[in-house]
Structure 1
Amino acid sequence: MDTMEINNSEALPLLSLNHVSLLCRSVWDSMRFYEEVLGFVPIKRPSSFKFNGAWLYNYGIGIHLIENPSMEDFDTIVEPRPINPKDNHISFQCTDVGLVLRRLEDMRMNYVTAVVEDEGNKVEQVFFHDPDGYMVELCNCENIPIIPLSSCSFKRRLSSFIKSAPAKCGFMENAMMESLSMEMLNISF
């Protein structure tokens, strides 16, 4: 199968991540975890849903829990895998990694820490599992700046502030450049 590159297409009009949807064995257990550990707040969900679930919100993102007590039938996580920073995970930015570690220790939760360093910048990461074995990361990732790949320059269209990149850059590089440049414009005004 041929891969089609999207270099010449405009990016979709996406704004941000809206929510993450997770299957869970017990909505109650998962709600308690996301409220008590991560500070999410339950919000109203549409009454038209005919299945047990919950919506939570905070930090500009939602978590939608969908109860499926027979998750074991679908070969999902029964016993949590070892905590592996290179596994699939949801990551949240935090301002105080030390406080996170103290809270997890007070709650007697298992966790793994890691440190990422780049050019003198250091990011502390903390990884742990939710009640269904989904991995969560809390980090101070803002310590490493987002720097576009040097091969991807962009030119500014004066009339619309829309960026375009040369054909040699891929879709993700173009999206990163556009996002970064819009953030820089927001900061400078």
Structure 2
Amino acid sequence: MNPLLFEKQKNGFEHAKKGALSIRSLNHVSFSVPEPVKTGRFFCDILGFRVVRRPNFNFDGIWLYSYGIQIHLIQGTALERPGTLKPNTDHISFQADDLSSIQNKLDALDIPYLCEFHEAEKLLQLFFKEPHSGIMIEICNCEVFPVEYIDEL
């Protein structure tokens, strides 16, 4: 394989595909949820987000911020999500350094989770759900599996 096709991920946008839109970063992820306050409380209490001001839209919702991103929770019907923890379905992922302390906290809070360990890559993933909307959350040590550009689609 051509070694020029491999490139380690670096900070910044200089690695975007040439000719693509010139965006800077991810700003927010948005979810339709039946109870934005309850879902927001989970994101704040469990994941450390904080509520931030949002424009006076003509629909209800709340905005959360932490870790350099916003999560927008919009009052509405949640997407149909599987009742079980299935890593191969939609989810939002966060990196963490100490996954054993996160497991301990999830255990203490009686939050069911699925633990996946990929031995070859030393990749550990914890999957759990926000109970009011079913949004699946992953917490991982993903830095052990760096992004490598391998080919064009």
| TM-score normalised over the length of structure 1 | 0.66
Aligned to 2:31: 22
Can you give the 5+ residue segments of structure 1 that lack an aligned partner in the other structure? 1-7, 153-168, 171-189
Does residue 1:114 correspond to 2:116, yes or no? yes
Name the amino acid aligned to 2:148. Answer: I
Does residue 1:123 correspond to 2:139, yes or no? no
Identity of aligned residues (%): 38
CA deviation string 1:21-50 (max 9, x = no partner): 111111111111000111111000012x12
Instruction: Tell me how far 1:89 sits from its aligned partner.
Output: 0.9
Can you give the 5+ residue segments of structure 2 that lack an aligned partner in the other structure? 1-16
* Alpha-carbon distance in structure 1 between the residues aligned to 2:119 and 2:21: 33
Structure 1 pair 117/102, CA: closer, same or farther in 2 (3 Å)? same
Does residue 1:63 correspond to 2:71, yes or no? yes
Does residue 1:76 correspond to 2:80, yes or no? yes
* Alpha-carbon distance in structure 1 between the residues aligned to 2:90 and 2:80: 13
Aligned to 1:132: 133
Give the secondary-structure state (helix, strand or coil) at the position aligned to 1:37: helix
Aligned to 2:94: 92
Higher helix share: 1
Aligned to 1:11: 20
Aligned to 2:41: 32
Instruction: Tell me how far 1:9 sits from its aligned partner.
Output: 5.8
Give the secondary-structure state (helix, strand or coil) at the position aligned to 2:42: helix
CA deviation string 1:46-86 (max 9, x = no partner): 12x12110000001110000112xx27xx734xx5110111
Instruction: Tell me how far 1:145 sits from its aligned partner.
Output: 2.2
Structure 1 pair 117/10, CA: closer, same or farther in 2 (3 Å)? farther
* C-alpha RMSD of matched pairs (Å): 1.9
Give the secondary-structure state (helix, strand or coil) at the position aligned to 2:58: coil
Instruction: Tell me how far 1:146 sits from its aligned partner.
Output: 2.1
CA deviation string 1:92-125 (max 9, x = no partner): 111111111111111111110101244xx31110
* Alpha-carbon distance in structure 2 between the residues aligned to 1:35 and 1:26: 14
